[in-house]
C-alpha cells in the first residue's frame, strides 16, 4: 500500500525557498458528504506533488482517516501530551510524504492542558524528523465547544457539502455560526458527489450570494468532486481512489484540487512553521468557552 517512489521535488523546493506552512481545515455541516475521504485523497495527491503532508484527525478510530487507508489507529496525540508515548509511536505513515496524527482525544482537551503539557506538545511536534509543508485537519462536528480550534487557527477553512438541500442548509448554518462567534469572514466551498461542474458552480454561487447579501462571510469556490462509482468502491475497499482507480474522474479532480491548493493566498502574518501554528492553537484554545462558540 505504501508509495515507494523517491520524490526529490520537496527537497529541491526547500533549497529554492518555500512559501511557509499551509494549514487547511476541512469541515462539514452534516455527516455523509465525504469530508474524510476528501482529506485522505488530497493528502495522497499533495504527497505525490512532493509535499510533506500531515493530516490531523479529530475522529475516533473506525471513523477516521486511518480507516481510509485500511489502517487502525491504536493511540492518540493525547498519549504524547501525557508523556505515555513518543510522537513517532502515534503517527501513522501510509505512504512516502504523508503522515496521519490521530488527535480525537487531544482536540477535546486542548483548552485544559497544563503549561507543562503544552510545552510537551510543542516540543514533540517541533521535533518532527521531516519538515511539514502542509497540515490538513479533518475536523469533527462533535467538538465539545461546538467548533474545532484547529479551524479557527487555520489559514483556510474548507466547507465540504454535497448537492442535496440538507447538506447545503447545514453548511450555511455552520458558516453563519462561526462567522458570528469569531468574526471569521472567509471560507472556501468544496462541492462533493456532484453530477457536473455546472451543478457545482450553481450550488456554490447560490450559497455565496446568500452569505454575501446577509453580510455573513465571503465564500470562494474550491472546486468539485464528481459523483463517481470508482470513489464509492475504493471507499468500501478502504483505499484512496488515487491508489485504486488513478485514472477515474474523481482521482483527476483530487489531483487538480491539490495543484490549485498550493497557490491559495496566504497573508504574510499567517506564515510560520509548526511551532508557530501550535503556539497560536494553544493560545486560542485556552480562551475558547462553549458559551462563546454557541452564541
7-27 tens-digit pLDDT = 333 443 333 334 589 999 999
Take residue 148 and report the three cell numbers written for it: 474545532
**How buried is 227 (Cβ within 10 angstroms: 0-12 exposed, 13-18 middle, 19+ buried)?**
middle
CA distance 216 to 153: 19
pLDDT digits (tens, 9 = 90+) for 206-241: 999 999 999 999 999 999 999 999 999 999 999 999
Q: Which residue has the higher pLDDT, 123 or 62?
A: 123
Where residue 146 falls (left for φ over 0; alpha for ψ -120 to 50; beta otherwise) is: left
CA dist list (Å): 277 to 51, 54, 119: 18, 13, 13
Take residue 58 and report the three cell numbers written for it: 479529530
- The answer to whether residue 271 scores a pLDDT higher than 80 is no
CA dist list (Å): 107 to 39, 58, 121: 18, 6, 12
SS (H, E, C) 179-228: HHHHCCCEEEEEEEEECCHHHHHHHHHHHHHHHHHCCCCEEEEEEEEECC
* Mean pLDDT on 154-160: 94
Note the pLDDT of residue 24. Answer: 96
**Beta carbons within 8 Å of 221's beta carbon, 6+ residues apart:** 188, 189, 201, 204, 208
- The answer to whether residue 289 scores a pLDDT higher than 70 is no
Looking at domain 20-293, its CATH class is: alpha beta
**Beta carbons within 8 Å of 295's beta carbon, 6+ residues apart:** 180, 181
Instruction: Quote the DSSP letter at residue 60.
Output: P
Q: Which residue has the higher pLDDT, 205 or 144?
A: 205
Note the pLDDT of residue 284. Answer: 83
- The answer to whether residue 103 scores a pLDDT higher than 60 is yes
Amino acid at each position: 500500500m505504501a508509495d515507494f517512489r523517491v520524490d526529490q521535488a520537496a527537497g529541491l523546493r526547500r533549497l529554492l525557498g518555500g512559501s511557509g506552512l499551509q494549514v487547511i481545515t476541512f469541515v462539514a455541516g452534516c455527516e455523509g458528504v465525504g469530508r474524510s475521504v476528501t482529506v485522505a485523497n488530497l493528502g495522497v495527491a499533495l504527497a505525490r506533488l512532493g509535499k510533506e503532508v500531515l493530516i490531523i484527525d479529530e475522529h475516533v478510530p473506525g471513523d477516521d482517516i486511518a480507516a481510509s487507508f485500511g489502517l487502525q489507529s491504536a493511540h492518540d496525540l493525547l498519549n504524547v501530551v501525557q508523556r505515555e508515548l513518543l510522537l513517532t509511536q502515534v503517527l501513522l505513515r501510509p505512504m512516502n510524504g504523508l503522515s496521519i496524527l490521530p488527535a480525537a482525544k487531544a482536540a477535546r482537551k486542548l483548552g485544559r492542558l497544563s503549561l507543562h503539557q503544552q510545552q510537551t506538545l510543542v516540543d514533540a511536534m517541533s521535533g518532527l524528523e521531516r519538515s511539514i509543508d502542509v497540515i490538513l485537519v479533518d475536523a469533527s462536528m462533535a467538538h465539545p465547544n461546538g467548533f474545532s480550534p484547529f479551524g479557527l487557527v487555520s489559514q483556510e477553512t474548507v466547507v465540504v457539502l454535497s448537492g442535496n438541500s440538507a447538506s447545503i442548509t447545514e453548511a450555511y448554518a455552520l458558516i453563519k455560526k462561526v462567522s458570528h462567534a469569531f468574526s471569521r469572514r472567509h471560507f472556501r466551498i468544496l462541492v462533493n458527489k456532484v453530477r457536473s461542474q455546472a451543478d457545482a458552480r450553481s450550488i456554490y454561487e447560490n450559497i455565496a450570494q446568500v452569505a454575501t447579501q446577509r453580510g455573513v462571510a465571503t465564500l470562494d469556490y474550491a472546486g468539485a468532486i464528481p459523483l463517481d462509482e470508482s470513489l464509492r468502491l475504493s471507499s468500501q475497499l478502504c483505499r484512496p481512489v488515487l491508489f485504486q482507480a488513478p485514472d477515474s474522474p474523481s482521482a483527476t479532480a483530487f489531483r487538480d484540487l491539490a495543484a490549485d491548493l498550493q497557490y491559495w493566498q496566504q497573508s504574510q502574518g499567517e506564515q510560520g512553521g509548526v511551532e508557530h501554528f501550535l503556539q497560536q492553537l494553544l493560545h486560542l484554545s485556552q480562551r475558547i468557552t462553549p458559551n462563546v462558540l454557541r452564541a
